[in-house]
A and B are shown apart, each in its own frame.
Chain A
Amino acid sequence: MKKSISYIILSVCGLFMVIPFIWMLTTSVKSQLEVNKGNVGFLPIEQHTSYEENGIIYRVTPVKVEGDSTYIHVFDKDMKRIRSYLKVASSEITEKKEIKLHFENYKEAFTKVPFKRYFINTLFVSISVVFGVLVTGSLAAYAFATMRFKGRDFIFYLFISMMMVPQPVYLIPSYVLLNHLGWIDTYNALIIPWIANIFTIFLLRQQFKTIPDELFDAARIDGCGRLRTLWTLVLPLSKSVIVTSAIFGFIGSWNSFMWPLVMTDSPSIRVLQVGLSYFSQEASAQTSLLMAASTFSILPLVILFIFAQKQIIASFASSGLKG
C-alpha cells in the first residue's frame, strides 16, 4: 500500500521530468504548418481536407461555405495552389486524420546550419580536453599523493582555493588575456585553459593515496622509476576514478556554452552549443526545426548516458561526498 503511493508520486513527477523531452521529439517530426495551425499536442497527427476529382485526391483548404456548396483552394503534391475559389458540393470534401512523421526536418536543419562541422568541432574540443585533463591531472595528483617536497601542501591548497572561483568571475580577464595572446577565435582558446581540472586532481589524489606503500616499495625494489610506477602500477589500480574524471570532463566540455560564446566567433570553429544558440535566434519561429536541432545536439550525451548510466550516476553521487 505504502509502496504504491511511492510509485504513483514517482511516476507523476517522472512524467514531468520527461515530458519536455517527449514533446521535443514529437514536435521535431511535425510539419511547421501543423504547429502554426495550433496542433501542438503530443501526437504528430495531421488533419487534411481533400477532394477527389478524376480519381486523383487533391489537398484542399475550404475558404467559404455557401449553402450546400463550399469554395475551396486546390493544391498539388508540392502544396502549390493550382486552383482558387473552386465551388464544389460540401459532401464531396472529406476530412482525414493521419499520423505523419516529417524526418526531413532534420535534413532541413542540417542544410540551414553546418551542424556537422559544429559537431566535429565539439567532439575534437571535448576529446582534447579530456585527454589533457587526464594527463595533467594524473601527473600532478601522483606528485601530491606520493612524493614529499617543499611547498607541496601550500601548492595543493592554492589549487583547491582556485576551484572555488566561479567561471563568470574569470571570464572577463580571461578574455583580456586570451586576446593578448592572440588566441581569441582559435581552438587554443577552447582547449588550453581547460586541460587542467582541479577537481580531477583532487579526485585522483584521493584515489592514489589509498594505494598501499608496500606496492610502491616493491616497485622501487624492482627498479621501477617514478613515471613507470605511475603508468604500470598506479593508473591500472585507479581505472574507475579515471573513468569518472573522463565522464565529468566530457560532459562539462560538451555542454559548455558561455566560454565558447565569448571566446569564438567564426563558424569554422564554432561548437554545437553556440551554433544551436545562434540557430535559435535565426529560426525562432521554426519550432520543429529547432526541436530537431536540439534533439540532435543532446543525442550523443543521452546515448552515452544510456550505456554508462550506473557509472555516470555513481560519479555524480561521489562528487557530493568529498571531503
Chain B
Amino acid sequence: MKKKFDYGPYLYILPAAIIVIVFRLIPIILSFIVSFYDWTITGPGKFIGFENYIMMFHDGEFWQSMLNTFYLVIFVVPVSLVLSLVFANFLNGIEKLKSLFRSIYFIPTVTSMVAISIVWKIIFNQQTGLANYFLTKLGFDPMGWLAESRGILDIILSSLGVNFQGFIQSFSSGIGMNYNTLYLLLGGPSLALFCIIIVTIWKGLGYNTIIYLAGLQNIPKVYYEAADLDGAGKIRQFFKITWQLISPTTFYVLMMTTIVTFQVFSQIYLMTGPPVGGPLGTTKVIVYFLFDKGFGESNNLSYASAIALVLFAIILTLTLFQKKLEKKVHY
C-alpha cells in the first residue's frame, strides 16, 4: 500500500516561503531584469542591454563613491576591530562594574542611526557644536568638520607647512593625470568623511566588543594557568593564546563589519545630505549613490539596480572568500 503524500510540512513553511519568495527572491531576479532596461518611476522603458553597466564604468561619480566607500571600510574595520578587542580584554579582566561598562558601550548599538546622526551632526556643527567648543577651549582653531572637503592628509601636511596641493598640482601635470582624481586618491578621505568614519566606529563598537567578550569567555582558563606556571607574561599570553584562539571571532567581526560598512547609508544621508553627498561629493558612498540615482532627480531605477548588483557582487565575493578562508583559520 502506498503511503498518502503528506502535504502538512509544506503548509507550515508556506507563510514564510511566500514572503521570502515574493519579497526577496523575486526582487533579486527583477533587479537583474530591470538593470538591462531604462526603467524610471513612471514605468518600464526599452531594453538597452549592458548600457547601464557601461555607463557606470564611465561615471566619475560612481568611481568617487566607490573610493569613498573604500576609505570608509579601510578606516572603520581595523580601528573597530582593534578597539573592540582591547575593550573586551579589559572587560574580561574585571569583576566589579563589568555589566555597567558593557551596557554603556552597548547603548549606541540599540539606538537608531537617525537620532545618533542628528546628534553627531550638531556635535560637528561649526558654530554651535561640541567639537569646535572643545577645540577652542584647548586653544586650537575651530575646524570645518562636515563642511570640509579637503583630504585629511592635506589638512595634516598643510598644518605642518607642507604645500600638499602644490605638490599634487605639479605631480599631476608631470604624469598627465587629472588634478582632482589624483587629489582624491592621495589626499585620503575628506575631513567630512572622516567624521562619518568616527560615528560609524562609535556606533558599531559595542556590538563588536560584546561578540569578542563572548569569544574570550569561551577560552578555557587552564591555558592561562599553564602559561602562568611557565612564566609567560600577560602580553605574551595575549599573542600566544588569546589571539590564536579568538581567530574565528576575529574573522566573524572582520567580515560582518566589512559587509555592514559597505552598506552605510543613514549617517551619510542625515549628516551630509541631501541633496549632495557632502562637500564636493566627498562623503557620497555607494548606497547613497544608488539611492540618489533611483529616487533622486533622475529617477533612473535601472541604473540604480545596476549599481546595487555591483554592490551585491562585491559583498557576495567577500562572503564566499570568508567561507573559503574560514575553514583554514578554524582551530
Report which A residues bind B (CB closer than 8 A): 2-3, 6-7, 9-10, 13-14, 16-21, 23-24, 27, 35-36, 38, 40-41, 135-137, 139-140, 142-144, 147-149, 152, 155, 158-159, 162, 164-177, 192-193, 195-196, 198, 201, 226, 251, 254-255, 257-258, 262, 273, 276-277, 280-281, 287, 290-291, 293-295, 297-298, 301-302, 304-305, 309-310, 312-313, 316-321
Contacts and interface: CB of A to CB of B under 8 A. Distances in A.
A135 B16 CA distance: 9
B15 A172 contact: no
Interface stretch (B154-162, B163-171, B307-315): B307-315
A166 B310 CA distance: 12
B49 interface: no
Given A226-B8, A258-B291, A313-B210, A168 B112 contact: no
B118 A276 contact: yes
Given A17-B206, A302-B107, A291 B122 contact: yes
Nearest to B108: A17
B6 interface: yes
Contact of B123 (A23, A135, A304, A310): A23
Contact of A175 (B94, B130, B249, B301): B301
B316 A164 contact: yes
A168 B113 contact: no
Contact of A172 (B97, B99, B294, B316): B294
A23 B119 contact: yes
Interface string B213-247: 11100000000000000000010000000000000
Given A166-B312, A169-B28, A171-B308, 17 more contacts: A35-B128, A40-B129, A140-B13, A149-B9, A165-B312, A166-B315, A167-B263, A168-B308, A173-B305, A176-B27, A177-B22, A195-B19, A257-B113, A294-B118, A302-B107, A304-B110, A305-B106
Contacts of B215: 320
A6 B27 contact: no
Contact of A143 (B12, B90, B120): B12
B107 A155 contact: no
23 contacts: A10-B87, A18-B107, A140-B17, A142-B12, A143-B10, A149-B6, A168-B291, A171-B308, A173-B27, A173-B28, A175-B295, A176-B34, A193-B22, A196-B18, A258-B266, A276-B115, A277-B269, A294-B115, A302-B107, A302-B110, A305-B103, A312-B106, A317-B211
Nearest to B210: A317
A293 B119 CA distance: 10
Contacts of B206: 17
Contacts of B13: 139-140, 143-144, 155
A17 B26 CA distance: 41
